[in-house]
Amino acid sequence: MSPVTEPIDPELLPLTAREGPEGLSVGGVALTELAERFGTPLFVYDEEHLRQRCREAVAAFGRDRVAYASKAFLCTAMARLAHEEGVLLDVASGGELRVALSAGVPAGRIVLHGNNKDEAELRTAARAGVRHVVVDSFDEMDRIERLHGTEALPPVRVLLRVAPGVAAGAHESIRTGGHDSKFGFGLADGVALVAVGRAAKSPAMILEGVHAHVGSQVLDAAELAAGAAAIARFAVDTGVRELTVGGGLGVAYEAGRRPASFAEWADAVREAARGAGWTGPLSVEPGRSIAARAGLTLYRVGTVKRIEGVRTYVSVDGGMSDNPRPALYSSRYEAFLPRSPRAPRPLRARLVGKHCESGDVIIDNAALPADIGVQDLLATPVTGAYGHAMASNYNKLPRPAVVFVRDGRARLVVRRETENDLLRLDVGGPADDLGAVAGELVAARE
């Protein structure tokens, strides 16, 4: 059967995905049942898949040498799961820090990132006693020293983020390690060396190491190794004791792609670091490679529009508000019908969302079963990273619920937003009695 029409590749599905009488199940629960119980759109995560990926990362790099990049997907259940599996938490804002702490993750197992941390974020991190603050600029050093001097906050243990001049990744927007980057101290122009000197002498900072991240969605471990070699040489020259080479390991979003394994990644970056003279510990920060394939998104088809001689449009009840990556990065996905996961997919259609936006395209040229129709349940796999995390309320759509499935049980970990939630922060108030009518309509719909 040609690649254009063949069924969805099992390598794109969560590890516990199985076909049964009710179609595809994950974690022992039928996707059709989940849609009926929790509604759509819906983010579904295979908990066993998440745990196994955490374990594989720890096995490859060692305990306390893996920090989950929580920007990929974070809620209290995910933070707790990663901690239970021996993984540190990498957070990039005060909000992510709050979620991790609320999940019961000890501050000493949290690393704070961010290219523009404000005083409130730095104050919280210092008082909590996070494992490391990854310092990104001289202005941030100014803030740390000011807080230390005026509020008597304890000195923070820091890693310095370095831009090594090596950029990798599938799209310009996710290449972070080049010289022209908003992140880190430049290596090529000598700024990183100046930063090391200042941090080492500052009473407000305890310099422990350096950090670099060259980009995301990298399928070839050799690209990540090149970044590791550059930062390792700098780490050796400066005499620091900690080296973090970031994350960036990619995943397959479409059939026929093969990303490196954690073990292959570990071998490549270790060899590169050793070649540069580094003999100390090596840490990494995977995010997408832990969460992406573990999750899929369920939608309900609402419209099938056939334009003779042009194309077919299939519209679902979500879109760019729950998966902005196709619009942002031209990211490509596949789709299938959970009722018949092994069905051929000869129909070519543009899979679109319900937003008032022509660019609200989930898959531009999707392969779908010929009998797809209104009210069909449709799934897009490999959406566990940067779907929920980047979701918005565009067009005032409530954000979807998140469900974890394992051993035949489903548990709601993030509830679906309601239309009342959309008004919760609105302080304008009704101008007249029409406001009361609008409130009654919202209540009736819920």
Asked about 356 being catalytic, the answer comes back as yes
Set out the domains of the chain in order of their start, with CATH numbers: 10-45+293-415 (2.40.37.10), 47-290 (3.20.20.10)
CA–CA distance from 322 to each of 51, 317, 326, 348, 437 (Å)? Answer: 24, 10, 11, 23, 29
pLDDT of residue 5: 82
pLDDT of residue 383: 98
| Burial class for 286, CB neighbours closer than 10 Å (0-12, 13-18, 19+) | buried
| Active-site residue, from 1, 152, 310, 356 | 356
pLDDT of residue 433: 55
- Percentage helix, strand, coil for the chain under 3-state DSSP, each rounded to 5: 35, 25, 40
Residue with tokens 């005060």: 94
Tally of CA atoms within 13 A in the half-sphere of 30 that contains its CB: 14
**Sign (positive/negative) of CA torsion 436, 440, 441, 445?**
positive
pLDDT of residue 408: 98
Residue with tokens 């938490």: 89
pLDDT of residue 347: 97
Pairing of strands 361-368, 110-112: unpaired
* Mean pLDDT, each 10-residue run in order, the chain (446 residues): 75 97 97 98 98 98 96 98 98 98 98 97 98 98 97 97 71 48 90 97 98 90 91 96 95 94 96 96 96 98 97 98 94 96 97 97 97 98 97 97 98 97 86 58 60
Does this model's pTM top 0.85?
Answer: yes
Backbone phi and psi for residue 25, each to the nearest 5 degrees, phi listed first: -120, 155
| Burial class for 419, CB neighbours closer than 10 Å (0-12, 13-18, 19+) | middle
Pinpoint the alpha helices (H) of 112-220: 119-128, 138-151, 191-201
DSSP-assigned beta bridge partners for residue 401: 42
pLDDT of residue 440: 61
> How far is 27 from 407, CA to CA, in rounded Å?
6
